[in-house]
Structure 1
Amino acid sequence: MANMSEYRVLVTGANGFVGCALRAELQKRSLPFATAVRQKQAKTEYEEYAVGTLNGKTDWTHALLGCNTVIHLAARVHVMQEDAQDPLAAFREVNVISTLNLAHQAIAAGVRRFVYVSSVKVNGEESGQLPFTPFDSPAPGDPYGLSKWEAEQALCELAKKSDLELVIVRPPLVYGPGVRANFLRLLTFVKWGVPLPLGSVNNRRSMVALDNLVDLLILCTKHPAAAGQTFMVSDGADMSTTELLNLLAGAMGRRVCLVSVPTTLLKLAAAMIGKTAVADRLLCSLQVDISHTMLTLGWVPVIDVKEALNKTVRYFLRSIEAK
Structure 2
Amino acid sequence: MRVNISGSTGFVGVNLARYFKSNSCKFVSINLRKPNWKFEIDFEAKAIIHLAGKAHDKKNTSNPKNYFDINTKLTHDLFDVFLASNCRDFIFFSSVKAATDKAEDIVTEETITNPQTAYGQSKMQAEQYILSKAIPQGRRVFIIRPSMIHGPGNKGNLNLLYQLVSKGIPWPLGAFHNQRSYCSIDNVCYVVNQILEREDIPSGVYNLADDETLSTNELIELIAISTNRKARIFSIPKKLINTIAKIGDVLHLPLNTERLDKLTENFVVSNLKIKEVLGIEKLPVTSKEGLVKTFQSFTK
TM-score by length of 2: 0.91
* Deviations 1:31-53 (CA, angstroms, capped at 9, x unpaired): 2321223xxxxxxxxxxxxx425
Who is 2:100 aligned against?
124
Does 1:78 pair with 2:56? yes
Who is 1:47 aligned against?
none
The secondary structure found in structure 2 opposite 1:66 is: coil
Cα 1:217–1:269 shift into 2, 3 Å? farther
2:6 is aligned with what amino acid? T
Does 1:15 pair with 2:6? no
Query: Deviation of residue 140 (structure 1)?
Result: 1.0
| Mapped partners of 1:154, 1:187: distance in 2 | 38
Question: Given that residues 58 and 101 in structure 1 are in contact (C-alpha distance below 8 angstroms), is that contact kept between their aligned partners in structure 2?
Answer: no
The secondary structure found in structure 1 opposite 2:214 is: coil
| Mapped partners of 2:174, 2:294: distance in 1 | 22
Cα 1:267–1:226 shift into 2, 3 Å? farther
Map residues 169-248 of structure 1 onto 2, 5 A cutoff: 169-248=144-223
| Mapped partners of 2:124, 2:201: distance in 1 | 19
Cα 1:152–1:222 shift into 2, 3 Å? farther
Cα 1:31–1:203 shift into 2, 3 Å? same
Does 1:30 pair with 2:24? yes
Cα 1:289–1:111 shift into 2, 3 Å? same
Q: Which moved more, 1:181-190 or 1:27-36?
A: 27-36
TM-score by length of 1: 0.85
The secondary structure found in structure 2 opposite 1:166 is: strand
Who is 1:3 aligned against?
none
* Deviations 1:161-220 (CA, angstroms, capped at 9, x unpaired): 544421011111111112112111100001001122121221000001111112112222
Q: Which moved more, 1:213-222 or 1:12-21?
A: 213-222
Unaligned runs of 5+ in 1: 1-6, 38-50, 319-323
Who is 2:228 aligned against?
253
Does 1:68 pair with 2:43? no
Map residues 99-178 of structure 1 onto 2, 5 A cutoff: 99-128=75-104, 130-158=105-133, 160=134, 162-163=136-137, 164-178=139-153
2:109 is aligned with what amino acid? P
| Mapped partners of 2:40, 2:144: distance in 1 | 26
Query: Deviation of residue 267 (structure 1)?
Result: 4.1
Unaligned runs of 5+ in 2: 250-255
The secondary structure found in structure 2 opposite 1:226 is: coil
Question: Given that residues 29 and 40 in structure 2 are in contact (C-alpha distance below 8 angstroms), is that contact kept between their aligned partners in structure 1?
Answer: no
The secondary structure found in structure 1 opposite 2:115 is: coil
Work out the number of aligned pairs and report it. 292
CA RMSD, Structure 1 to Structure 2 (Å):
1.9
Q: Which moved more, 1:256-265 or 1:67-76?
A: 256-265
1:73 is aligned with what amino acid? L
Does 1:305 pair with 2:296? no
Q: Which moved more, 1:246-255 or 1:214-223?
A: 214-223
What percent of counterpart residues are identical?
27
2:188 is aligned with what amino acid? L
